[in-house]
Amino acid sequence: MTAVPAFTPSTAEARRVLYQLVLCRGFEERVLKLVTDGSIRGTTHPYVGQEAVAVGACLVLRPQDWVISTHRGHGHLLAKGGDPNRLMAELFGKATGYGGGKGGTQHMADFAIGHLGSNGITGGGIPIGTGAALSAKLRGSGQVVVIFFGDGAANQGTFHESLNLAGLWRLPAVYVCENNLYAMSTPHREACAIEHIADRAAAYGMPGMQADGMDVQAVAAATRVAVERARAGRGPTLLECKTYRFLGHSKSDQRVYRSREEEASWRERDPIARWRALMLEHGWAGAADLDAITREALAAVDAAVEFARQSPFPAPEALTEGVFATPGESCAN
Amino acid sequence: MRELTYWQALQEALREALQRDPLVFLLGEDIGEYGGAFGVTRGLLAEFGAERIRCTPISEATIAGAAIGAAVTGMRPVVEIMFMDFLTLTMDQLANHAAKFRYMYGPQARVPLVLRTPAGGGRSYGATHSQSLEAWFLHVPGIKVVAPATPADAKGLLAAAILDDNPVLVVEHKLLYATTGMVPDGEVLVPIGRAAVRRPGSDVTLVAYSYYAGVALQAAEQLAAEGIDAEVIDLRTLVPMDTGAVIESVRKTGRLVCIEEGTRSGGVGAEIAARVSELAYEYLDGPIRRVAAADVPIPFSPPLEQLDLPQLADIVDTARQLCRG
Ligand SMILES: Cc1ncc(C[n+]2csc(CCOP(=O)(O)OP(=O)(O)O)c2C)c(N)n1
């Protein structure tokens, strides 16, 4: 096991962490309501409970580093610095959304902040993130790529191919597995021959690490080790964060495959409550401060809903536009 | 201009792109010292080094995905997939990701990715090493498809593909690699999306691409000896397809034969036939005919394979019937 030095945030970082945790949580809870009342169509995969992973991992990244995300991706985008307004507008299918309303919940990207896209195909983003890491290496850009995926995705062939390639070529990639114990209804123990996904790292010539995915500090500390290793040209890391989604897989999930007791035990480890306690304990903020930060984050959610509601739907011409890039088109890279 | 083989012409396009642009690199199985399954990359490793002529493990899905990731972050990867049949393993990455990035993510997303692959039968390689699967890509908007028939087009279309900001599938043909033709020196670009009239004619239009463009020309020679004047259109690009060139030709000839190596149902010929009957029905003097492979896996046994794949005589017979009734 790699030794992991403790991660102690600055006061400003600590406040930002709380803001982002509450933003991610508040955003998802609001989205669920909006899906239920029909304001948002389609489906949604709430990130509630797992916020410490995205927030902790992105905390130690530079703005120019890349992340690549999954179907449960709103938290990754927000934690990397995404704009809640454009994210919400995309969920509404509005022209002001990240993809002009053409992508939806599982398909949005913001290259300007180093976000390479969320993904509707389980395991589909793992090779693409690997290629971004190859690109960073070839260009000598010093960028690191964090590739988020679930325990379910870790059983896809792309996981194995990609880690093999990254290990072989010592790519600056950090593979962050969010092991929330279930892939839809399938328990990890019924889908994977070993308990710890991190143990698979040995097969691909890279270190495997585990972190408490309910604890921002633990995730940030482990990610920092992996990122520094990648940045120093020493190759990739597989980091498994043990976490839990508090809600169903998607909006319609009745959660028949797991017990309420199990859910309650994980709720006791709520990353937000934990972070608030930590902030008070270290004197990074007072109780009134914490409430103010919380209100501010929730106000951003309100504003995002308002922005999305006020935004226009895409013009009919948008249907057939943009299948291909055209010469001279503006772009971020 | 000098005479080159098809594989040399492809290699020249790769070499010139590698020389011109440091962002271009090659990715694929056995493309180093071995030179790729059909020799296109031989010598390039010594010239450009292992960073840029990057040999991969046998991991088609991840080769394609990694190329997408590299392309959207600023590189210009050129992938070789050893046989077109192995595109099956890359399909998620190509169809669900490469083809959709620009549409879903907006103008920030460009996927300047080229994927070269040898297609086609005629060598008794059997059912998993002989297919022509290009028709699949007519059904996934977002990927361009080119299928050069001559060395000059091989060079010019590959060069254009590498400069293009979109994913481009370059369908090469196993039976063409050793064929020769005159190829211009230096950078040549054949515009993607434009067909070529290989032989003007007034009685019947033969539309083909890749290896079968040459077979169609031979058929036209035979037909000429019988007094039938066939026009041969080489599509060169399947996506976007130069429908206008086909219609233009049908307008003159009134008759159309669509020729392809892939299986008949849902094929390229079916698409051309549909477009012409939608857009230019009034010019037709007879039914549109298709020459294509049977709807069977490609058999190994040489006589069976020949029976399955379209032959010169099939094209001649079909055109003759159409013209003589
Ligand atoms: C290739 C593919 N197979 C199946 C699905 C349907 N699906 C969506 S999410 C999911 C579970 C993924 O589990 P995991 O990777 O652990 O992520 P989690 O949902 O737990 O965050 C499944 C089966 C899909 N989207 N793509």
pLDDT digits (tens, 9 = 90+) for B94-118: 999 999 999 999 999 999 999 999 9
Q: Is residue A332 pLDDT above 50, yes or no? A: no
B74 interfaces chain A, CB cutoff of 8 Å: yes
CB contact set of B28 (below 8 Å; sequence gap of 6+): B36, B41, B54, B55, B56, B63, B79, B80, B81, B82
Counting from 1 in the atom list of ligand 1, the atom nearest the Cα of A179 is 16
**Rounded CA Rg of chain A:** 19
Q: What is the pTM of this model?
A: 0.96
CB contact under 8 A, A324 and B102: yes
Segment A114-120 mean pLDDT: 97
Task: Name which of B51, B104, B107 is nearest A329 (Cβ-Cβ).
Answer: B107
Q: Locate B206 and state its tokens.
A: 């033969």
Give me the percent of chain B exceeding a pLDDT of 90: 99
pLDDT of residue B283: 97
Q: Locate B314 and state its tokens.
A: 């099939």
Q: Is residue A1 pLDDT above 60, yes or no? A: no
Handedness of CA B27, B29, B34, B37 (dihedral sign): negative
B185 interfaces chain A, CB cutoff of 8 Å: no
C-alpha distances in Å from residue A38, one per residue of A33, A91, A108, A188: 9, 12, 21, 33
B111 C-alpha to ligand 1 centroid (Å): 25
pLDDT of residue B325: 74
pLDDT digits (tens, 9 = 90+) for B270-306: 999 999 999 999 999 999 999 999 999 999 999 999 9
The total of other beta-carbon atoms located within 10 Å of residue A112's CB is: 14
pLDDT digits (tens, 9 = 90+) for A242-290: 999 999 999 889 999 999 999 999 999 999 999 999 999 999 999 999 9
Query: Within 13 Å and on the Cβ side, how many CA atoms surround B88?
Result: 7
B168 C-alpha to ligand 1 centroid (Å): 29
Which amino acid, residue B137?
F
Helix, strand, coil tally for chain A in percent (to 5): 45, 10, 45
A170 interfaces chain B, CB cutoff of 8 Å: no
Counting from 1 in the atom list of ligand 1, the atom nearest the Cα of A249 is 19
B68 interfaces chain A, CB cutoff of 8 Å: yes
C-alpha distances in Å from residue A246, one per residue of A8, A48, A97, A179, A260: 27, 6, 27, 13, 10
Segment A18-34 mean pLDDT: 98
A328 interfaces chain B, CB cutoff of 8 Å: no
Going across the sheet that includes A66-68, the strands are A66-68, A145-150, A173-179, A237-242, A208-212
Q: Locate B3 and state its tokens.
A: 């005479």
Give me the percent of chain A exceeding a pLDDT of 90: 96
* DSSP assignment of B235-288: --EEETT-HHHHHHHHHHHS-EEEEEEEESTT-HHHHHHHHHHHH-GGG-SS--
Distance from CA of B78 to the nearest CA of A (A): 13
pLDDT of residue B245: 98
* Contacts A–B by Cβ distance under 8 A: 156
Whether A60 contacts A17, CB under 8 Å: no
pLDDT of residue B150: 98
C-alpha distances in Å from residue A117, one per residue of A69, A167, A177, B84, B254: 6, 23, 17, 28, 49
In the structure, which protein residues have their CB atom closer than 6 angstroms to any atom of ligand 1? A 71-72, 120-122, 149-153, 180, 182-184, 249
B230 interfaces chain A, CB cutoff of 8 Å: no
Split at pLDDT 50, 70, 90, the class of B251 is very high
Q: Tell me which residue has its CA closest to atom 21 in ligand 1.
A: A150
Q: Is residue A41 pLDDT above 60, yes or no? A: yes
pLDDT of residue A333: 40
pLDDT of residue A330: 56
pLDDT digits (tens, 9 = 90+) for B153-173: 999 999 999 999 999 999 999
Active site residue B173: no
Closest CA to A24 of A97, A74, A89: A74
Task: Name which of B73, B96, B141 is nearest A124 (Cβ-Cβ).
Answer: B96
Q: Is residue B59 pLDDT above 70, yes or no? A: yes
CB contact under 8 A, A102 and B104: yes
pLDDT of residue A3: 79
Instruction: Nearest chain A residue to B23 by CA: give it.
Output: A139
Counting from 1 in the atom list of ligand 1, the atom nearest the Cα of A120 is 25
- Angle at which helices A11-36 and A84-91 cross, to 10°: 20
CB contact under 8 A, A121 and B92: yes
Catalytic residue among B12, B16, B29, B60: B60
Distance from CA of A229 to the nearest CA of B (A): 21
pLDDT digits (tens, 9 = 90+) for A296-311: 999 999 999 999 999 9
pLDDT of residue B216: 98
C-alpha distances in Å from residue A243, one per residue of A207, A215, A258, B38: 20, 9, 15, 49
pLDDT of residue B164: 98
Active site residue B60: yes
Which of A43, A44, A71 is the best mutation target for the ligand 1 pocket, counting ligand atoms within 8 Å of the beta carbon and taking the most?
Answer: A71
pLDDT of residue A2: 64
pLDDT digits (tens, 9 = 90+) for B228-241: 999 999 999 999 99
Q: How many whole angstroms separate alpha carbon A251 and alpha carbon B109?
A: 30
pLDDT of residue A9: 95
Q: Give the residues across from A150 on adjacent strands.
A: A178
Segment A305-331 mean pLDDT: 91
B66 contacts in chain A (CB < 8 Å): 127-128, 130-131, 134, 162, 165
Segment B31-54 mean pLDDT: 97
The total of other beta-carbon atoms located within 10 Å of residue B265's CB is: 10
Q: Is residue B66 pLDDT above 50, yes or no? A: yes
pLDDT of residue A131: 98
- Bridge-based pairing of strands B204-208 and B237-239 is unpaired
Q: Give the residues across from B208 on adjacent strands.
A: B234
- The H-assigned helical ranges of chain A are 11-36, 51-59, 74-79, 84-91, 125-139, 157-169, 216-231, 260-267, 271-282, 287-310
φ/ψ of A66, rounded to 5, equals -100, 150
CA A154 centroid distance within chain: 16
User: Average model confidence (pLDDT) for chain A?
Assistant: 96
Helix, strand, coil tally for chain B in percent (to 5): 40, 20, 40
A131 interfaces chain B, CB cutoff of 8 Å: yes
Q: How many whole angstroms separate alpha carbon A25 and alpha carbon A51?
A: 7
CB contact under 8 A, B69 and A131: yes
Distance from CA of B19 to the nearest CA of A (A): 16
Distance from CA of B141 to the nearest CA of A (A): 7
pLDDT digits (tens, 9 = 90+) for A171-200: 999 999 999 999 999 999 999 999 999 999
Burial of residue A94 (number of CB atoms within 10 Å: 0-12, 13-18, 19+): buried
Q: How many whole angstroms separate alpha carbon B27 and alpha carbon B114?
A: 10
Catalytic residue among B12, B80, B129, B231: B129
CB contact under 8 A, A325 and B75: no
Give me the percent of chain A exceeding a pLDDT of 70: 98
Distance from CA of A71 to the nearest CA of B (A): 14
Q: Is residue A170 pLDDT above 90, yes or no? A: yes
